[in-house]
Every structure is written in C-alpha cells, then in structure tokens.
C-alpha cells in the first residue's frame, strides 16, 4: 500500500549502511551504485527513489560519501566501518550518562570474560604507549 512503511524508521538507513559495508568487506572500494544497494535488499524492496533519498540523508549525516565518476554511475560508500560506528555509539552513550563511572561499571559488569580480556589488553596497550 502506498505511503505505508514496511520497515521501522531508521532500519532502512541501517540496512543501506550494512549493504555498503558488506561491499567494502568484499573488496569493493569504489562503493556501490544505488541500483546495487537496491538489488541487495530482499523482497519487498523499497523503491529506487527511496534508496536514493536514504543515501542522500546518510550523506548529509556524514555517514555515506558520494563518489562522482566522469564516465560511470554515481557510487556511494560508508565513511565509517562497523567497528568505528560501534565505538562512536558507545562514546555517545557514555557522554549522555549523568554518572559516567556508574555507566562504565554497569557496562563492564555485563561483559563476558572474553570481552573483558580484550578490554584489559586494550587498556594495557594504551597505558604502555
């Protein structure tokens, strides 16, 4: 039905970003065309104009970079890796906490032992540098 959302707000942006990141993971460094992004979606697919609008919005948010080519279609690529995006979200969440120490303690208390080991190694490496 026209005008009815088939995905929650923000989910389409995340799906587009994931498509661009997956392409980069496969070694596609020049990015994807809007058509390639659309073709990566399962049915029911959004309209091509919707994908273009999402790519434009992500570009204005600094999450997607447009690459114009002289004799090839416009391509798009994600500016940040999944890991960079995750770190940014974690930093934003910490910045929003009224009690940073309590938030960090809650966070580390919820980590699995393997994750705690990674965190310890990262902290040790940072102290040594």
Q: Where are the domains of the chain?
A: 8-78, 82-128
Given a cut of 80, is residue 6 above it in pLDDT?
no
Q: CATH says 8-78 is which class?
A: mainly alpha
Between 128 and 9, the more confident residue is 128
Rounded to two decimals, the pTM is 0.74
Residue-wise pLDDT tens digits, 61-70: 999 999 988 8
Rounded CA-CA distance 55/12 in Å is 10
Does the pLDDT of residue 73 top 90, yes or no? no
What sign has the CA pseudo-torsion 17, 21, 24, 28? Answer: negative
Q: Please report how many Cα atoms fall inside a 13 Å half-sphere around the Cα of residue 54, on the Cβ side.
A: 25
- Which residues are CB-contacts of 63 (< 8 A; sequence separation ≥ 6)? 17, 78, 79, 80, 85
């Amino acid at each position: 039905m026209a005008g009815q959302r088939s995905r929650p707000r923000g989910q389409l942006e995340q799906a587009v970003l994931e498509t661009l990141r997956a392409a980069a993971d496969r070694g596609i460094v020049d990015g994807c065309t809007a058509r390639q992004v659309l073709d990566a979606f399962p049915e029911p697919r959004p309209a091509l104009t919707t994908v273009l609008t999402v790519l434009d919005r992500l570009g204005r948010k600094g999450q997607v970079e447009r690459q114009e080519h002289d004799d090839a279609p416009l391509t798009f690529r994600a500016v940040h890796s999944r890991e960079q995006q995750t770190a940014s979200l974690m930093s934003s969440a910490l910045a929003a906490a009224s009690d940073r120490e309590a938030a960090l303690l809650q966070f580390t208390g919820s980590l699995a032992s393997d994750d705690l080991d990674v965190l310890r190694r990262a902290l040790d490496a940072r102290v040594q540098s």
